[in-house]
Amino acid sequence: MKIGQWQHSTGPQTHMHTLPIKMKRGLLVVFWSLFCLCVANTATGNKPKHPIEFDQLEISRKYVPAKQHASASKSPSSSSVHGGSQDYQRKRDKIIAMPGQMEEAEFTQYAGYVTVDANAGRALFYYFAEAPQDPSNKPLVLWMNGGPGCSSFGAGAMLELGPFSVHSDNKTLYKKKHAWNTANMLFVEIPAGVGYSYSNTTSDYHNTGDKRSTDDAYTFLVNWLERFPMYRDRDFFITGESYAGHYVPELANLIISNNRARGATNVKLKGVAVSA
């Protein structure tokens, strides 16, 4: 799936001059995200100026409780994923350029979906930015926003600590001076229904909660590590803000429990951090 060339709409801006600056910035990101989603659903075969390729093949393993959880595939690079290998899937997730990205990034970035429940059709969206310098020796950091309902991509990555943010023209991106870029940053939209994460089962949006969110986050992580096997043995940290103060420690506890379970995928959890 390719997101097409940016087409700036001046309609919404006619009412923005009376809004506070912080609200303006928030609306800019909201409009930007909604625009990308709309274009993704209506894009034609024309080659975009600023293409971004998201994955259309998804990992379909469902989370199994700790005592039954099987280790990840011994050959993730060649395992079948809806007709494609994990290596192919990772290549499909690689971003050529963000919409509105005018400068070439000095780091590699990815975005896509990881299925956490194939039966329900539930999948979580992620955005991943590798460290600009020596990424192969830098730790992996998972970021989650709170709410519940706050987008880790729209808020966490685009407004707070990701590599890019949106210019006041609501068309182009600029590089952040103080981005978190001394580690490999993984942003996940959680639970399903937040940001680009979704479920094909309507009841999922009414029956969500901390336990399901934690289980989905763990399933996402294990399956994501199959897609990116080079990060399996990397030092791993979990961090987030606001209501993620629930998600972070609960996910850490589940990782520790499953690490102790025989045959479970071992995640090298080194620490957690939360903020208000």
**CA distance linking residue 216 with residue 59, whole number of Å:** 13
Using alpha carbons, select from 50, 53, 115, 121 the residue that is nearest to residue 90: 53
Residue 245 to residue 274: CA distance in whole angstroms: 6
Q: Where are the domains of the chain?
A: 58-275
Torsion region of 48: left, alpha or beta (phi above 0 gives left; psi -120 to 50 gives alpha):
beta
pLDDT for 55:
34
Mean pLDDT, 10 residues at a time, the chain of 276 residues? 34 36 43 41 34 33 34 35 65 89 86 93 95 94 91 88 87 88 95 93 88 94 95 95 91 93 82 88
Superfamily of domain 58-275 in the CATH hierarchy = Alpha/Beta hydrolase fold, catalytic domain (3.40.50.1820)
Q: What pLDDT sits at residue 84? A: 54
Per-residue confidence (pLDDT) for residue 138, from 0 to 100: 96
Q: Which residues pair with 134 in a beta bridge?
A: none
Structure tokens at 263: 């045959």
Residues 139 and 236: their CA atoms lie apart, in Å, by 6
pLDDT at 194: 92
pLDDT of amino acid 83: 35
